[in-house]
A = this chain, B = another copy of it.
Amino acid sequence: MLLQPKKFKDPVEPAFGDPNCGGCVLDPSGCLCDGCKIRPLSVCNVLNEQEIKTFRNLGHSVGYNAKTSLFSQDEEADAVFNLTEGMVRLYKLLPDGRRQIVGFALPGDFLGLAFEPTYSFSADAVTSAVACRFPRKLFEAYVDQTPALLKRLHEAATYELTLAREQMVLLGRRSAEERIAAFLIGLRDRLYRIGYHSPTLRLPMSRQDIADFLGLTIETVSRTLTKLAKDKVILIVPDGIRFLKMEKLETLAA
Protein backbone atom coordinates (compact mmCIF):
# COMPACT_ATOMS: atom_id res chain seq x y z
CA MET A 1 0.00 0.00 0.00
CA LEU A 2 1.06 3.53 -0.71
CA LEU A 3 1.19 4.73 2.86
CA GLN A 4 2.28 1.52 4.57
CA PRO A 5 5.22 1.70 6.97
CA LYS A 6 8.37 -0.03 5.77
CA LYS A 7 11.98 -0.10 6.91
CA PHE A 8 14.95 0.59 4.70
CA LYS A 9 18.44 -0.71 5.29
CA ASP A 10 19.82 0.78 8.46
CA PRO A 11 22.16 2.64 8.64
CA VAL A 12 21.00 4.16 5.40
CA GLU A 13 23.46 4.57 2.59
CA PRO A 14 23.98 8.04 1.23
CA ALA A 15 22.21 8.67 -2.05
CA PHE A 16 24.39 8.84 -5.11
CA GLY A 17 26.24 12.09 -5.28
CA ASP A 18 24.93 13.50 -2.03
CA PRO A 19 26.63 12.50 1.20
CA ASN A 20 24.20 14.57 3.30
CA CYS A 21 21.12 12.86 1.96
CA GLY A 22 19.33 10.70 4.48
CA GLY A 23 18.05 8.19 1.96
CA CYS A 24 19.04 4.71 0.84
CA VAL A 25 19.51 4.00 -2.87
CA LEU A 26 17.18 1.18 -3.86
CA ASP A 27 18.62 0.45 -7.29
CA PRO A 28 21.94 1.84 -8.48
CA SER A 29 20.90 1.34 -12.10
CA GLY A 30 18.35 4.19 -12.05
CA CYS A 31 14.70 4.84 -11.25
CA LEU A 32 12.40 1.84 -11.04
CA CYS A 33 10.06 2.99 -13.78
CA ASP A 34 8.93 -0.39 -15.08
CA GLY A 35 6.82 -1.40 -12.12
CA CYS A 36 6.06 2.17 -11.05
CA LYS A 37 2.45 2.35 -9.87
CA ILE A 38 2.13 6.09 -9.86
CA ARG A 39 3.70 6.79 -13.22
CA PRO A 40 0.33 7.49 -14.87
CA LEU A 41 -0.30 10.17 -12.21
CA SER A 42 3.13 11.67 -12.25
CA VAL A 43 4.92 14.16 -14.46
CA CYS A 44 6.72 11.29 -16.21
CA ASN A 45 3.45 10.26 -17.84
CA VAL A 46 4.18 12.57 -20.77
CA LEU A 47 7.32 10.65 -21.69
CA ASN A 48 7.13 7.75 -24.15
CA GLU A 49 8.91 4.43 -23.58
CA GLN A 50 11.97 5.61 -25.47
CA GLU A 51 12.20 8.85 -23.52
CA ILE A 52 11.68 7.09 -20.19
CA LYS A 53 14.79 5.01 -20.86
CA THR A 54 16.92 8.14 -20.99
CA PHE A 55 15.06 9.84 -18.19
CA ARG A 56 15.26 7.02 -15.62
CA ASN A 57 19.02 7.00 -15.88
CA LEU A 58 19.22 10.61 -14.77
CA GLY A 59 18.27 9.72 -11.22
CA HIS A 60 17.85 7.01 -8.64
CA SER A 61 15.05 5.60 -6.60
CA VAL A 62 15.79 6.40 -2.97
CA GLY A 63 14.11 5.08 0.16
CA TYR A 64 13.64 7.21 3.29
CA ASN A 65 12.67 5.97 6.70
CA ALA A 66 9.95 7.84 8.55
CA LYS A 67 11.13 11.16 10.02
CA THR A 68 14.28 11.37 7.91
CA SER A 69 14.96 14.41 5.77
CA LEU A 70 14.79 14.67 1.98
CA PHE A 71 16.14 18.21 1.99
CA SER A 72 16.23 21.30 4.19
CA GLN A 73 15.38 24.95 3.86
CA ASP A 74 18.33 27.19 2.87
CA GLU A 75 20.59 24.33 1.82
CA GLU A 76 21.76 24.16 -1.76
CA ALA A 77 18.97 22.92 -4.01
CA ASP A 78 20.98 20.37 -5.92
CA ALA A 79 18.29 17.77 -6.46
CA VAL A 80 14.63 17.44 -7.36
CA PHE A 81 12.33 14.62 -6.29
CA ASN A 82 9.40 12.70 -7.61
CA LEU A 83 7.62 11.03 -4.72
CA THR A 84 6.47 7.47 -5.52
CA GLU A 85 5.57 6.06 -2.10
CA GLY A 86 4.71 7.42 1.31
CA MET A 87 3.93 10.88 2.64
CA VAL A 88 6.28 13.82 3.00
CA ARG A 89 5.72 17.01 4.97
CA LEU A 90 6.91 20.31 3.52
CA TYR A 91 7.46 23.11 6.00
CA LYS A 92 9.02 26.45 6.71
CA LEU A 93 10.52 27.43 10.03
CA LEU A 94 10.67 30.90 11.57
CA PRO A 95 13.88 31.90 13.40
CA ASP A 96 12.19 31.36 16.78
CA GLY A 97 11.07 27.84 15.93
CA ARG A 98 7.48 28.42 14.90
CA ARG A 99 6.69 26.04 12.08
CA GLN A 100 4.23 26.24 9.20
CA ILE A 101 3.65 23.11 7.17
CA VAL A 102 2.97 24.30 3.63
CA GLY A 103 1.83 20.94 2.33
CA PHE A 104 1.79 17.17 2.59
CA ALA A 105 3.23 15.56 -0.52
CA LEU A 106 1.67 12.33 -1.77
CA PRO A 107 2.82 9.78 -4.36
CA GLY A 108 2.99 11.42 -7.76
CA ASP A 109 3.93 14.82 -6.35
CA PHE A 110 6.98 16.56 -7.61
CA LEU A 111 9.24 18.30 -5.07
CA GLY A 112 12.12 20.65 -4.90
CA LEU A 113 11.51 22.98 -7.80
CA ALA A 114 13.17 26.10 -6.55
CA PHE A 115 13.37 29.55 -7.97
CA GLU A 116 16.53 30.28 -6.06
CA PRO A 117 19.73 28.25 -5.65
CA THR A 118 18.58 27.09 -2.21
CA TYR A 119 15.45 25.26 -1.10
CA SER A 120 12.80 27.59 0.26
CA PHE A 121 11.35 24.94 2.57
CA SER A 122 12.27 21.66 4.21
CA ALA A 123 10.92 18.23 3.42
CA ASP A 124 10.93 15.14 5.54
CA ALA A 125 9.23 11.79 5.45
CA VAL A 126 6.08 11.37 7.56
CA THR A 127 5.86 7.66 6.79
CA SER A 128 8.67 5.76 5.17
CA ALA A 129 8.84 7.03 1.61
CA VAL A 130 10.38 6.38 -1.78
CA ALA A 131 11.28 9.08 -4.27
CA CYS A 132 13.05 9.31 -7.58
CA ARG A 133 15.87 11.70 -6.90
CA PHE A 134 17.41 13.64 -9.79
CA PRO A 135 20.45 15.88 -9.70
CA ARG A 136 19.06 19.28 -10.47
CA LYS A 137 21.46 20.15 -13.29
CA LEU A 138 20.80 16.92 -15.16
CA PHE A 139 17.07 17.26 -14.65
CA GLU A 140 16.96 20.85 -15.85
CA ALA A 141 19.04 20.03 -18.90
CA TYR A 142 16.63 17.25 -19.78
CA VAL A 143 13.60 19.47 -19.25
CA ASP A 144 15.13 22.10 -21.53
CA GLN A 145 15.17 19.65 -24.41
CA THR A 146 11.74 18.16 -23.63
CA PRO A 147 9.01 20.81 -23.93
CA ALA A 148 6.26 18.28 -23.20
CA LEU A 149 7.79 17.62 -19.79
CA LEU A 150 8.17 21.33 -19.16
CA LYS A 151 4.51 21.83 -19.96
CA ARG A 152 3.56 19.04 -17.57
CA LEU A 153 5.72 20.55 -14.82
CA HIS A 154 4.08 23.90 -15.43
CA GLU A 155 0.68 22.28 -15.05
CA ALA A 156 1.83 20.72 -11.79
CA ALA A 157 3.11 24.06 -10.49
CA THR A 158 -0.14 25.79 -11.48
CA TYR A 159 -2.11 23.15 -9.62
CA GLU A 160 0.10 23.58 -6.56
CA LEU A 161 -0.53 27.30 -6.73
CA THR A 162 -4.27 26.72 -6.71
CA LEU A 163 -3.93 24.53 -3.62
CA ALA A 164 -1.70 27.11 -1.97
CA ARG A 165 -4.30 29.83 -2.50
CA GLU A 166 -7.02 27.67 -1.08
CA GLN A 167 -4.84 27.12 1.95
CA MET A 168 -4.50 30.91 2.28
CA VAL A 169 -8.28 31.22 2.51
CA LEU A 170 -8.31 28.49 5.11
CA LEU A 171 -5.58 30.11 7.20
CA GLY A 172 -6.85 33.64 6.84
CA ARG A 173 -10.58 33.30 7.10
CA ARG A 174 -11.73 29.98 8.50
CA SER A 175 -12.57 28.81 12.03
CA ALA A 176 -10.84 25.87 13.68
CA GLU A 177 -13.73 23.53 12.93
CA GLU A 178 -13.85 24.61 9.29
CA ARG A 179 -10.09 24.12 8.97
CA ILE A 180 -10.26 20.57 10.28
CA ALA A 181 -13.20 19.74 8.02
CA ALA A 182 -11.48 21.17 4.94
CA PHE A 183 -8.28 19.35 5.84
CA LEU A 184 -9.95 15.95 6.18
CA ILE A 185 -11.93 16.35 2.98
CA GLY A 186 -9.00 17.77 1.04
CA LEU A 187 -6.73 14.92 2.04
CA ARG A 188 -9.37 12.33 1.23
CA ASP A 189 -9.91 13.86 -2.21
CA ARG A 190 -6.22 13.88 -3.00
CA LEU A 191 -5.79 10.27 -1.90
CA TYR A 192 -8.87 9.28 -3.85
CA ARG A 193 -7.47 10.78 -7.03
CA ILE A 194 -4.30 8.72 -6.76
CA GLY A 195 -6.27 5.54 -6.33
CA TYR A 196 -6.10 5.27 -2.56
CA HIS A 197 -9.74 4.61 -2.05
CA SER A 198 -10.89 3.63 1.40
CA PRO A 199 -13.76 4.29 3.81
CA THR A 200 -11.18 5.08 6.48
CA LEU A 201 -8.91 8.09 6.13
CA ARG A 202 -5.48 7.24 7.47
CA LEU A 203 -3.74 10.14 9.18
CA PRO A 204 -0.10 9.11 9.40
CA MET A 205 1.03 12.57 10.50
CA SER A 206 1.01 13.66 14.16
CA ARG A 207 -1.49 16.04 15.70
CA GLN A 208 1.31 18.57 15.88
CA ASP A 209 1.78 18.26 12.10
CA ILE A 210 -1.92 18.84 11.53
CA ALA A 211 -1.80 21.85 13.86
CA ASP A 212 1.19 23.32 12.05
CA PHE A 213 -0.52 22.82 8.72
CA LEU A 214 -3.78 24.44 9.83
CA GLY A 215 -2.30 27.30 11.84
CA LEU A 216 -3.69 25.93 15.13
CA THR A 217 -2.28 24.38 18.30
CA ILE A 218 -2.20 20.67 19.00
CA GLU A 219 -4.80 21.11 21.74
CA THR A 220 -7.25 22.83 19.43
CA VAL A 221 -6.81 20.10 16.82
CA SER A 222 -7.45 17.43 19.41
CA ARG A 223 -10.47 19.19 20.88
CA THR A 224 -11.98 19.88 17.47
CA LEU A 225 -11.60 16.28 16.35
CA THR A 226 -13.15 15.16 19.64
CA LYS A 227 -16.05 17.55 19.11
CA LEU A 228 -16.64 16.26 15.56
CA ALA A 229 -16.56 12.71 16.94
CA LYS A 230 -19.04 13.61 19.73
CA ASP A 231 -21.33 15.09 17.09
CA LYS A 232 -21.04 11.79 15.17
CA VAL A 233 -19.64 13.57 12.13
CA ILE A 234 -16.51 11.43 12.19
CA LEU A 235 -15.29 8.38 14.07
CA ILE A 236 -11.76 8.49 15.46
CA VAL A 237 -9.93 5.20 14.88
CA PRO A 238 -6.30 4.25 15.49
CA ASP A 239 -4.15 6.10 12.97
CA GLY A 240 -7.03 7.88 11.28
CA ILE A 241 -10.72 8.69 11.09
CA ARG A 242 -13.82 7.37 9.42
CA PHE A 243 -16.39 9.66 7.82
CA LEU A 244 -19.90 9.37 9.23
CA LYS A 245 -21.66 12.52 8.01
CA MET A 246 -19.95 13.60 4.84
CA GLU A 247 -22.51 16.34 4.05
CA LYS A 248 -22.01 17.94 7.45
CA LEU A 249 -18.25 18.07 6.91
CA GLU A 250 -18.65 19.36 3.39
CA THR A 251 -20.89 22.16 4.62
CA LEU A 252 -18.25 23.16 7.13
CA ALA A 253 -15.51 23.05 4.51
CA ALA A 254 -17.52 24.82 1.78
Stretch at the interface among A53-61, A147-155, A240-248: A147-155
Q: Which residue of B lies closest to A90 (CB)?
A: B165
A94 at the interface (CB under 8 A from B): yes
**Which B residues are CB-close (under 8 A) to A116?**
162
- For A120, give its contact among B102, B162, B167, B172 (CB under 8 Å): B162
- For A158, give its contact among B115, B121, B165, B169 (CB under 8 Å): B115
Most B CB contacts (10 A, CB to CB) among A98, A166, A215 go to A215
A187 at the interface (CB under 8 A from B): no
**Which B residues are CB-close (under 8 A) to A168?**
92, 100, 102, 164, 167-168, 171
Chain A positions 130-170 with a Cβ under 8 Å from a chain B Cβ: 144, 147, 150-151, 153-155, 157-162, 164-169
A36 at the interface (CB under 8 A from B): no
Alpha-carbon gap, A155 to B116, bound state (A): 10
Asked if residues A173 and B113 are in contact (CB atoms below 8 Å), the reply is no
Contact with B along A222-254 (1 / 0, CB 8 A): 000000000000000000000000000000001
How many A residues, CB 8 Å from partner? 40
Alpha-carbon gap, A172 to B215, bound state (A): 4
**Which B residues are CB-close (under 8 A) to A37?**
none
Asked if residues B113 and A165 are in contact (CB atoms below 8 Å), the reply is no
A201 at the interface (CB under 8 A from B): no
**Which B residues are CB-close (under 8 A) to A214?**
172
Asked if residues B113 and A215 are in contact (CB atoms below 8 Å), the reply is no
Alpha-carbon gap, A171 to B174, bound state (A): 11
**Which B residues are CB-close (under 8 A) to A17?**
none
Alpha-carbon gap, A80 to B104, bound state (A): 30
Binding site for B on A (CB under 8 A): 92, 94-95, 98-100, 102, 113-116, 120-121, 144, 147, 150-151, 153-155, 157-162, 164-169, 171-174, 212, 214-215, 254
4 additional A-B pairs beyond A94-B174, A94-B254, A150-B150, beta carbons within 8 Å, are A100-B172, A102-B169, A168-B168, A171-B215
Q: List 28 A-B contacts (CB under 8 A).
A: A92-B168, A94-B173, A94-B254, A99-B173, A100-B172, A102-B165, A102-B168, A102-B169, A114-B158, A115-B155, A115-B158, A115-B162, A116-B162, A120-B162, A144-B151, A147-B147, A150-B150, A150-B151, A150-B154, A153-B154, A154-B157, A157-B158, A161-B161, A164-B164, A164-B168, A167-B168, A172-B214, A172-B215
